[in-house]
Structure 1
Amino acid sequence: MEGIHHRMVDVNGITMHVAEKGQGPVILFLHGFPELWYTWRHQILSLSSLGYRTVAPDLRGYGDTEAPTSITSYSCMHIVGDLIALVDSLGVDQVFLVAHDWGAIIGWYLCLFRPDRVKAFVCLSVPFMPRKPMKPVESMRLNFGDDYYICRFQEPGKIEAEIARYGTSNMLRKIISNRKPGPPRMPKDNAFNIKPDTPISLPSWFSEEDLSYCTNKFNQKGFTGALNYYRAFDLNWELTAAWSGTQVKVPVKFIVGNLDSVYTTPGMKEYVESGGFKADVPMLDEVVVMEGVGHFINQERADEINSHILEFIKKF
């Protein structure tokens, strides 16, 4: 990671860790769960060499960024507030946005609340999810059952205890290597289905060194901040009532793997392909479905994702 500059920035009442490299138009990268700025290492190195200033924060509650204790401090309003303050600190009016997983969810909120600050959005894995009449966690429980992972994440301390039981390294290893399609479920007796006597092999694109970096950071920080994003799902629903039915008016390119557990969750593929997604995001320029690719698409197919990002943002 030679040449990547790390610094701390005061944003929205917290201290945020930012990794950056390069000069030129800003590309802001937002990571997901359970990840860090580090998930964008390949994109930072590649795109910074092509005339862009690449900026990847640890989001609130992750890595070396501050982690407030209350669940209510992880609302979409707080996180987008952090990002607007970060963009202001960079001295630019607009950024190119690239985001994955929870970063993508936050990215959609950023585009919804402050489209004036985003030139274009390359979204990985999670499409826009318009606000529905029913609270999201209740809806997920109804559709996918109590063992659905987001439902299992709701009770404070419960999943944290499971992670402590099996170890951060084993938990990360299991999630990174998982390629099971469909809605992720967590049985109550063993949430991550970790068998101590069965070694979990890492995929070729994620090394033991990568695992060690992420494990150390999560061992220092813990998982509560990261899990509080899921625990604020219903709060976000309450806070965004005024945006019901609002379209996202930002140019978007959406990229997903056909083996991604989000894309293969019932209803998601149909929404993306039937015209519903395009109706909600009228400036959706392109949908790319990559064959044989799982959830962690920016790491698994780094070179292709770098090319897709560059191809799209060069239009603006």
Structure 2
Amino acid sequence: MAELTHRRIKTNGIYIHVAEQGTGPQLVLLLHGFPELWYSWRHQISFLANHGYHVVAPDMRGYGDSDAPLCPSSYTSLHLVGDLIGLLDHFGQQKAFVVGHDWGAIVGWHLSLFRPDRVKGVISLSVPYFERNPDVKFVENFRQAYGDGFYICQFQEAGRAEKAFAKYDCLTVLKKFLLINKTDLLIAPPGMEIIDYLEMPSLPSWIKEEEIQFYTDKFKESGFTGPLNYYRAFDLNWELLAPWQGSKISVPAKLILGDKDINIEATRRYTTGDVLKNLVPELEVVFLDGHHFIQQEKPQQVSHEILSFLNKIP
């Protein structure tokens, strides 16, 4: 069995760091979310490689050992999908399976929307596919629904979140976001920053102190501006997504959700309703006992759910 290896690959004008394992003929891309790294897939990489797949888990642009352009306009879905097309071309693969969590799930949905010819199937963890509202931009939609204290609204202003995060050490910031167990939305009271509102959690059984430290060491080097720029490109995404208004996700798809994730009741209503079924006709929805970072909290169940999906597609 091939060991886990690391390299940086030139794609879409930048260098993307990838962790890679397995030599099988079918490529699986594992896309992490906020605030994570390729490392969030540490349990799934070797599992899928041992079952005959070629597994590639990048640090998404702005994270870890990948390049981090400074401007928020370099973090649109077109850029992020472009990075992945470059990776597919580098590995000589016309099509790949795509598995994404959190922001990685959004990128996976958009890759499937823009280039279904390059996707064998898509698995999303924690984030369903949402159609663009043609009448209201993304951030204004969030602000109308949840107010200015909503974390995505707070992340819009350049430097604001970085300044608030800087009041804490990097380990504390990561623990507050990675180990979150709130089931309500992340909305800070008026006048309070979201990082101050989040409680300092105790370490759960599913993650070790040294694993948190791995994240910390990387974020100390790369900072948080790249990851925050994903949120700052939201409204530019809204403009760029207009040509796909009304389009559906046509590839086979699976959605894995933790039944204690943030705002889960609203998510459950949406994922079991007709709207999502119409947008993603070939969708399977699975609920597991867990929270937001489900692939780390329940690694065996998630790994088997991923494998069962991959094995079903010729």
Give the Å deviation of 1:191. 2.3
Q: Deviations over 1:249-277 (max 9, x none)?
A: 0100111011111534x4x3322111211
Alignment of 1:51-62 (within 5 A): 51-62=52-63
Give the Å deviation of 1:61. 0.4
1:191 counterpart = 2:188: no
The 2-side partners of 1:288 and 1:107 are apart by: 17
Give the Å deviation of 1:3. 2.4
The 2-side partners of 1:39 and 1:263 are apart by: 22
1:80 counterpart = 2:81: yes
Segments of structure 1 that go 5 or more residues without pairing to the other structure are none
> What letter matches 2:194 in structure 1?
A
> What letter matches 2:175 in structure 1?
R
**Do the aligned residues in 2 keep the contact of 1:14 with 1:66 (CA within 8 Å)?**
yes
The 1-side partners of 2:158 and 2:209 are apart by: 30
User: Which of 297, 304, 309 lines up with 2:306 in the alignment?
Assistant: 309
The 2-side partners of 1:6 and 1:80 are apart by: 21
Q: Secondary structure at the match of 1:43?
A: helix
The 1-side partners of 2:258 and 2:298 are apart by: 10
**Do the aligned residues in 1 keep the contact of 2:126 with 2:257 (CA within 8 Å)?**
yes
1:179 counterpart = 2:178: no
**Do the aligned residues in 1 keep the contact of 2:186 with 2:194 (CA within 8 Å)?**
no
User: Which of 280, 292, 296 lines up with 1:295 in the alignment?
Assistant: 292
The 2-side partners of 1:262 and 1:254 are apart by: 16
The 2-side partners of 1:186 and 1:15 are apart by: 36
| 1:269 aligned partner | 268
Q: Secondary structure at the match of 1:166?
A: coil
Q: 1:190 to 1:239 in 2, by over 3 A?
A: closer
TM-score, length basis structure 2? 0.95
**Do the aligned residues in 2 keep the contact of 1:250 with 1:283 (CA within 8 Å)?**
yes
Q: Secondary structure at the match of 1:6?
A: strand
User: Which of 145, 161, 165 lines up with 2:147 in the alignment?
Assistant: 145
Q: Secondary structure at the match of 1:10?
A: strand
**Do the aligned residues in 1 keep the contact of 2:172 with 2:200 (CA within 8 Å)?**
no
**Do the aligned residues in 1 keep the contact of 2:149 with 2:193 (CA within 8 Å)?**
no
Identity, % of aligned positions: 48
Segment of structure 1 superposing worse, 169-178 or 101-110:
169-178
Q: Secondary structure at the match of 1:45?
A: helix
Q: Deviations over 1:68-99 (max 9, x none)?
A: 01110001111100110011101111111111
Q: 1:214 to 1:135 in 2, by over 3 A?
A: same
Segments of structure 2 that go 5 or more residues without pairing to the other structure are none
Alignment of 1:7-18 (within 5 A): 7-18=7-18
The 2-side partners of 1:122 and 1:72 are apart by: 27
